[in-house]
A = this chain, B = another copy of it.
Amino acid sequence: MPNALTRRFEEYVVLGDRDRAVLARISSLPARTISARRNLIREGDCPQAVYLIMEGWACQYRELDDGRRQIVDFAIPGDLCDLNLFILDRMDHSIGAITRLKVVEIGRETFHKIVASSPAITSALWWQELVSKSIHREWILNVGQRRALERIAHLFCEMFLRLESVGLTEGFCCEWPLTQNDIADATGLTAVHVNRTLQQLRQMELIDLANRRLKIPDMAGLQIVGRFNADYLHHHRNARHTDRTRAGSDFMPVPMVATGEA
């Protein structure tokens, strides 16, 4: 089985043998272990390396001074934690370990060398960057417009598909290391309400969640409830054949004036 990083990148670009060799080399660098619930890096730090997740789940989060905390994304094996070091001076968010983590740290020079040596990998990096941005947008939509049941169902759908794309599912089962508190922080709800909503999802027989394992007995149903549409994940290597082009700009949906003009 190819490593997660390679799998992930092949979702986006066509790799040559040399590219694959480079990725394999990176993946076999000595990994650092971080124990569960510790921080990898905190907002305000000056990052010295890009982190590549090899094993475990991490979360990116932001917080307000009064303690309110919002998880803005999760990172799973094959994910590269922000390229901030590459450009920005300071971390604008924190990264914490949900489970025990194995990460490879890629320093600035190594990073530059890789980018210089492989256009395919550079392209995949851009791609990953844009996809994770698209995921951010979906989260804004999730937290801004969906109600509790939808939000949580949506989160299950997203994480399941992301895990699947790096080979971390069996059938409709996967690890689920998030506590109800983590889910609350990711969805902008309280833990109490997450608890009640999970019970509802269980009773609807859309999920089967216990002992840090998730099973989805009815993926189609869960996607409907979560109003989930996977397009934003851009897992396109599996769906590339659907290449219909739509007509150009028409009107905005809600408030509009019909005073057309080119």
Contacts and interface: CB of A to CB of B under 8 A. Distances in A.
Interface of A: 32-42, 44-46, 60, 62-70, 72, 82-84, 86-90, 92-94, 96-97, 123, 126-127, 129-134, 136-141, 143-146, 179, 181-182, 185, 187-188, 227, 231-232, 234, 236, 240, 243, 245-246, 248-257, 259-262
Nearest to A231: B92
A65 B227 contact: yes
A178 to B, nearest CB: 11
Given A140-B72, A144-B187, A188-B145, A255 B179 contact: yes
10 contacts: A36-B257, A37-B256, A42-B250, A62-B140, A64-B146, A69-B254, A70-B141, A72-B137, A129-B129, A181-B254
Contacts of A84: 130
Given A136-B136, A138-B62, A257 B40 contact: no
Copies in the complex: 2
Contacts of A60: 137
Given A89-B236, A227-B65, A38 B256 contact: yes
A70 B150 CA distance: 15
A96 to B, nearest CB: 4
B37 A252 contact: yes
Nearest to A254: B69
A44 B246 contact: yes
A115 B140 CA distance: 30
B87 A253 contact: no
B133 A132 contact: yes
B130 A87 contact: yes
Given A63-B253, A65-B227, A133-B129, A92 B145 contact: no
A253 to B, nearest CB: 6
A83 B124 CA distance: 14
A251 to B, nearest CB: 6
